[in-house]
Structure 1
Amino acid sequence: MRFSFGLIMTAGALLTPASANAQTFDPRYPVCMHVYSGANGGGGEWYDCSFTSLPQCRATAYGRSAICDLNPYYPVHAPPPHLRYRRSG
């Protein structure tokens, strides 16, 4: 009886899904704004990856508790897409 109870508890612990975090960085934009709302704001902190340049992000972050960073998941060294041209003739 003890063995089956231990086996059930071990199997239950192994099969319990772990909490998953959502992806915070959008790989389509090169700049992210890290916003801190702190304990008084109640919202914690989050990333807003919807900026195409650092000056654009800094203009939005001006006066807020935020900092602009480069997106670590933006594909900087990705090769450009190959365009196919049709020959007319």
Structure 2
Amino acid sequence: MRIPALAVLALGTVLASASVHAQTYDPSYPVCLHVYGPLNYYECRYTSLAQCNASASGRSAQCLVNPFFATAGIGEPPVHYRRHHHRAY
């Protein structure tokens, strides 16, 4: 009974680990190129959409904004100035 249980456990471990993927997007660049074909993959090496579009030209590929870009949303918060209304006497 012990050997079949260990075999099932080992098989489950192997099947579960096969479905794990590495991080697809590189958080260092704001634009990624998604290449379609026998191998679908992402190249996140572009600093602008124009640069990515030049590389995608003539290929089965699409440029998209990197959702994991490292500096997205980081920075100074927006400044909201409060207006002071003065009454004229």
TM category, shorter = 0.5 to 0.7
What does 1:53-68 correspond to in 2, within 5 Å? 53-68=48-63
SS at match of 1:26: coil
Closer, same or farther: CA 63–7 of 1 in aligned 2, 3 Å: closer
* Offset, 1:55: 0.8
Closer, same or farther: CA 63–11 of 1 in aligned 2, 3 Å: closer
* Offset, 1:34: 0.4
Higher strand share: 1
* TM-score normalised over the length of structure 1: 0.66
Match of 1:5 in 2: 3
Q: Could you tell me how far apart the structure 1 residues matched to 2:58 and 2:74 are?
A: 35
SS at match of 2:62: strand
* Offset, 1:7: 3.3
Closer, same or farther: CA 14–48 of 1 in aligned 2, 3 Å: same
Q: Unmatched 5+ residue regions in structure 1?
A: 81-89
Q: Unmatched 5+ residue regions in structure 2?
A: 77-89
Match of 1:85 in 2: none
Closer, same or farther: CA 48–6 of 1 in aligned 2, 3 Å: same
Closer, same or farther: CA 9–66 of 1 in aligned 2, 3 Å: same
Match of 2:17 in 1: 18
Match of 2:74 in 1: 78
* TM-score normalised over the length of structure 2: 0.66
Match of 1:50 in 2: 45
Q: Could you tell me how far apart the structure 2 residues matched to 1:61 and 1:25 are?
A: 17
* Offset, 1:63: 1.3
